[in-house]
Copies of this chain bind each other. A is one copy, B any other.
């Protein structure tokens, strides 16, 4: 174990690079600056590109016409840390325990992208060159929908021209099981605000004669699903590509299933859309989730008010065949139609990303499978994932290339949650994977 590699990761993790929070703007910028320095230090030419949001870091080796070009994408921004009280140790003071590193961003995505950077560093140190033309593209807005990356890709289309893209921002089905992800869910965010009276009202003086905004909001949320846990929005499933028989068969055999998901999450019982297994529900079926809700008196004790307003933050996970814009139109129309005249309903769209689906057995797909097998010494699991990496669709549209998703996260890495973590074993596997992958893709 290379201790200096671990130290570098610790440094990277100490930046509170929370992209969604304006108060952390300078922390995000400092993190980008550190990354540029690191890329320069390993022997690449690295640049910081400012955007209207957070900067994009691009690095490359000296390119030659007689070899293939590989772009490795990642992100250095992280999710917020609330509820911070549930962290065992502070989210930006990384802690190593039993070979596992705990910190916000450790798995999503700093640990994974830094593994690639350090893999390239090792190869350059040993051989003075790489087997491919390499481009690192590491952004700071993945957690807020990669707002400025598409414009950047369009503007720099020629410099970013490549044959294939590799991304490690997905998961492994189980420890030690190499995993190639060929499908991702998309996402569309929507915030609901229900407003009733001009001001908070005494629930004794007015209760019974006016609609309660919290109650109305709850009813709208309750209307999102039917009794089979299907999303009840008319047209929501239009175009959804059904699961293929080979997918259902091969997923049944994976070393992860209901028991593991129940254990990982700690829920009293699993739940979800009728007629699908848990993996199918997560990887291949769309969802409607409430990520946050608030309204009225949330303090200690009782306050007998009817709140003037209440809000909920929703995200919809979408699967191949669904288009975020079309789905959001249907959701908005449904919610507005269901909302009574006794309140105002305000809908505010948030970030959106298309679902992704590619062929895992293409030439580059099989090259990736070989690198994965060599890294871990095991047969590769071919899966889809439930998360969203909207940018892979943008790569396809703008750069006209497919993306290989070679994840290193474990199911209990708690991305986006308190006590996010990443095993050092996976970090070092990522470094090995990078070296083997570039060799395989060079052929």
With contact pairs A268-B342, A386-B207 given, residues A214 and B290 touching in the complex (Cβ less than 8 Å) = yes
Query: A295 CA to B314 CA in the complex, in Å?
Result: 12
Query: A209 CA to B86 CA in the complex, in Å?
Result: 23
* A124: interface (CB < 8 Å): no
> In the complex the two chains form, is B292's CB within 8 Å of A296's CB?
yes
> In the complex the two chains form, is A298's CB within 8 Å of B303's CB?
no
Contacts of A434 in B (CB 8 A): none
* A330: interface (CB < 8 Å): no
* A203: interface (CB < 8 Å): yes
> In the complex the two chains form, is B211's CB within 8 Å of A300's CB?
no
* A52: interface (CB < 8 Å): no
Query: A305 CA to B310 CA in the complex, in Å?
Result: 19
Contacts of A204 in B (CB 8 A): 185, 187, 317, 385-388
Give the total of A residues in contact with B, Cβ under 8 Å: 102
> In the complex the two chains form, is B207's CB within 8 Å of A265's CB?
no
> In the complex the two chains form, is A291's CB within 8 Å of B287's CB?
no
With contact pairs A205-B411, A209-B281 given, residues A291 and B304 touching in the complex (Cβ less than 8 Å) = yes
Contacts of A171 in B (CB 8 A): 205
Query: Considering the complex, which residues of chain A in the window 55-113 have a beta carbon less than 8 Å from any beta carbon of chain B?
Result: 79-80, 82-83, 86
Residue in B214, B291, B350 whose CB lies within 8 Å of A307 = B291
Query: Considering the complex, which residues of chain A in the window 308-333 have a beta carbon less than 8 Å from any beta carbon of chain B?
Result: 308, 310-313, 315, 317
> In the complex the two chains form, is A206's CB within 8 Å of B265's CB?
yes
With contact pairs A290-B212, A290-B215, A306-B291 given, residues A22 and B207 touching in the complex (Cβ less than 8 Å) = no
With contact pairs A271-B340, A290-B296 given, residues A197 and B265 touching in the complex (Cβ less than 8 Å) = yes
* A21: interface (CB < 8 Å): yes
Against B, the Cβ 8 Å flags (1 = close, 0 = not) of A272-312 are: 11000011011001010111111111111111111110111
Against B, the Cβ 8 Å flags (1 = close, 0 = not) of A160-188 are: 00000000000100000000000001010
- Where chain A touches its partner, the secondary structure class is loop
Query: A307 CA to B293 CA in the complex, in Å?
Result: 10
Contacts of A313 in B (CB 8 A): 296-298, 302-303
Query: Considering the complex, which residues of chain A in the window 10-31 have a beta carbon less than 8 Å from any beta carbon of chain B?
Result: 20-22
Query: A337 CA to B329 CA in the complex, in Å?
Result: 36
* A51: interface (CB < 8 Å): no
Contacts of A285 in B (CB 8 A): 208
Contacts of A307 in B (CB 8 A): 291-292
* A225: interface (CB < 8 Å): yes
Against B, the Cβ 8 Å flags (1 = close, 0 = not) of A17-55 are: 000111000000000000000000000000000000000
Report the minimal beta-carbon distance from A316 to chain B, rounded to whole angstroms. 10
> In the complex the two chains form, is A218's CB within 8 Å of B222's CB?
yes
Measured CB to CB, the residues of A under 8 A from B are 20-22, 79-80, 82-83, 86, 144-145, 171, 185, 187, 189, 196-212, 214-215, 217-219, 221-225, 261, 264-273, 278-279, 281-282, 285, 287, 289-308, 310-313, 315, 317, 340-344, 350-351, 385-388, 411, 414-419
28 contacts between A and B (CB under 8 A): A82-B297, A82-B299, A187-B204, A196-B268, A197-B267, A199-B417, A200-B416, A205-B415, A206-B282, A207-B282, A207-B287, A207-B386, A208-B273, A208-B386, A209-B271, A210-B267, A214-B291, A214-B293, A215-B224, A269-B342, A289-B306, A291-B307, A292-B298, A293-B293, A293-B294, A293-B296, A304-B416, A305-B417
Please provide the 9 A-B residue pairs with the shortest distance between their CB atoms, ordered closest to farther. Answer: A204-B387, A198-B266, A292-B296, A20-B301, A218-B221, A222-B222, A208-B281, A271-B342, A292-B297
